[in-house]
């Protein structure tokens, strides 16, 4: 089924090239990466070579000068083959690069955007043991000493931590000031005192490394502050609002991948002398899957277009993430059922989608947090 949403020529060309890369380069490595819980360096190199790690990086810094919508499109296409790989592309573009483009100084952009476009993976270090949904309950401190800040604390559940060469670290310069003390810092991996801690053994998206990041007396120059001191909360809120659209895109891609596998299997799997796709019960399942998938895609694309047009999008972004993650979970589950017994084994292509999908309702804002945002939006 062709998407109803019309793409312009440039978007359609990008979609085609990313889809080809995902099918030819990522697909053959999906199972091995999942079983070993490692990210294949060849895939990482390919993402950079294709320009997928700096979609919006301006041409003056070596990038393609693409759009936010194109970033979301790339995440969707990769997620249709492997949602774990899509995580790295998502974090790089909609959180790290986006934060630098919107809040970074000219010097910070000139130094880091070319590297992020060429070969440096970025990570977004906000979460801590005591700050999940309460994102601003940070314990990590940043103490001013002369021309430097000294960072101390631990970050948890940091995506791409093992591959990252640059961390956007959120810490408080004044705990008494609450969220108004939160500040964002650029911290290179090679900084003395920065260590990658425990790597989580996850149920899904296993190729995407998720690990603890420990900062013990890490010193950075005051020029490493992104935006203004005490305004890190603004960077976090605004980038996460936008990042949720891309998570919606990831869920749409995941759902599409599971649906397409289920559709193909239903056409070739025979029972009682005919393909199971000829049974009305299966047809109804596939019809529901197709309808919900298209609805989720339209919501995600609409939120992305609104953001790109400079219009209000926060409510729509929350709706898109909540609906897309809910629909993706339903579609992945239905896909397993259509495959029957083999769907419950690792020999089926849909078992992994089912494990991968659950995180969509948790990271970058749980489903209940999205409901809160939606309620505020419609009642204001």
What is the tens place of the pLDDT at every residue in 103-115? 999 999 999 999 9
Whole-Å CA distances, 284 to 277, 279, 288 = 10, 9, 6
Residues classed as catalytic? 364
For residue 132, pLDDT over 90 is answered with no
Ranges for all domains in the chain classified under CATH 2.40.110.10: 123-231
> Residue range 225-234: average pLDDT?
96
> Residue range 135-160: average pLDDT?
94
pLDDT attached to residue 149 = 98
Is residue 155 within 8 A of residue 212, CB to CB? The reply is yes
152 sits in the region (left: phi over 0; alpha: psi -120 to 50; else beta) called beta
pLDDT attached to residue 5 = 59
| 315-353 pLDDT tens trace | 999 999 999 999 999 999 999 999 999 999 999 999 999
pLDDT attached to residue 151 = 98
Is residue 39 within 8 A of residue 212, CB to CB? The reply is no
For residue 2, pLDDT over 80 is answered with no
For residue 119, pLDDT over 60 is answered with yes
Ranges for all domains in the chain classified under CATH 1.10.540.10: 9-120
Quick one: three-class SS letters along the chain? CCCCCCCCHHHHHHHHHHHHHHHHHHHHHHHHHHHHCCCCHHHHHHHHHCCCCCCCCCHHHCCCCCCHHHHHHHHHHHHCCCHHHHHHHHHHHHHHHHHHHHHCCHHHHHHHHHHHHHCCEEEEECCECCECCCCCCCCCEEEEECCEEEEEEEEEEEECCCCEEEEEEEEECCHHHHHHHEEEEEEECCCCCEEEEEECCCCCCCCCCEEEEEEEEEEEEHHHEECCCCCHHHHHHHHHHHHHHHHHHHHHHHHHHHHHHHHHHHHHCEECCEEHHHCHHHHHHHHHHHHHHHHHHHHHHHHHHHHHCCCCCHHHHHHHHHHHHHHHHHHHHHHHHHHHHHHHCCCCCCHHHHHHHHHHHCCCCCHHHHHHHHHHHHHC
Q: What is the CATH number of domain 9-120?
A: 1.10.540.10
Whole-Å CA distances, 257 to 293, 312, 371, 378 = 11, 30, 26, 33
Structural domain 234-379, CATH architecture:
Up-down Bundle (1.20)
| 161-182 pLDDT tens trace | 999 999 999 999 998 898 899 9
pTM over 0.85: yes
Ranges for all domains in the chain classified under CATH 1.20.140.10: 234-379
Band (pLDDT 50/70/90 cuts) for residue 6 is confident
Hey, CA dihedral for 302, 304, 306, 308, is it positive or negative? Answer: negative
Pairing relationship of beta strands 225-226 and 148-159 according to DSSP bridges? unpaired
For residue 310, pLDDT over 80 is answered with yes
Band (pLDDT 50/70/90 cuts) for residue 137 is confident
> Residue range 146-154: average pLDDT?
97
| 45-104 pLDDT tens trace | 999 999 999 999 999 999 999 999 999 999 999 999 999 999 999 999 999 999 999 999
Q: What is the CATH number of domain 123-231?
A: 2.40.110.10
Q: Give the bridge partners for 144, in sequence order.
A: 149
């Amino acid at each position: 089924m062709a998407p109803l949403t019309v793409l312009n020529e440039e978007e359609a060309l990008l979609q085609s090239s990313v889809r080809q890369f995902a099918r030819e380069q990522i697909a053959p490595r999906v199972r091995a990466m999942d079983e070993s819980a490692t990210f294949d360096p060849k895939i990482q190199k390919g993402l950079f070579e294709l320009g997928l790690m700096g979609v919006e990086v301006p041409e003056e810094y070596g990038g393609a000068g693409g759009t936010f919508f194109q970033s979301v499109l790339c995440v969707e296409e990769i997620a249709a083959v492997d949602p774990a790989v899509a995580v790295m592309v998502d974090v790089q573009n909609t959180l790290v690069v986006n934060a630098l483009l919107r809040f970074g100084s000219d010097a910070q952009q000139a130094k880091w955007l070319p590297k992020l476009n060429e070969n440096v993976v970025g990570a977004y270090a906000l979460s801590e043991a005591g700050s999940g949904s309460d994102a601003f309950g940070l314990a990590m401190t940043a103490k001013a000493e002369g021309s430097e800040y000294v960072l101390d604390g631990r970050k948890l559940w940091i995506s791409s931590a093992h591959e990252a060469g640059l961390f956007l670290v959120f810490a408080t310069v004044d705990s008494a000031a609450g969220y108004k003390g939160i500040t964002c810092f650029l911290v290179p991996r090679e900084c003395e005192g920065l260590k990658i801690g425990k790597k989580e053994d996850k149920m899904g998206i296993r190729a995407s490394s998720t690990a603890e990041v420990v900062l013990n007396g890490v010193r950075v120059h005051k020029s490493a502050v992104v935006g203004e001191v005490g305004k890190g909360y603004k960077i976090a809120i605004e980038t996460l609002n936008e990042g949720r659209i891309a998570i919606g895109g990831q869920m749409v891609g995941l759902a599409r991948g599971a649906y397409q596998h289920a559709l193909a299997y239903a056409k070739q799997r025979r029972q009682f002398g005919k393909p199971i796709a000829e049974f009305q019960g299966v047809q109804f399942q596939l019809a529901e899957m197709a309808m919900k998938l298209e609805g989720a895609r339209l919501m995600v694309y609409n939120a992305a277009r609104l953001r790109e047009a400079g219009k209000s999008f926060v409510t729509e972004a929350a709706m898109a993430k909540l609906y897309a993650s809910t629909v993706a979970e339903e579609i992945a589950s239905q896909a397993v059922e259509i495959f029957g017994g083999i769907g419950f084994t690792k020999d089926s292509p849909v078992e992994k989608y089912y494990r991968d999908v659950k995180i969509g309702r948790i990271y970058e804002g749980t489903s209940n947090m999205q409901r809160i945002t939606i309620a505020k939006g419609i009642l204001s």
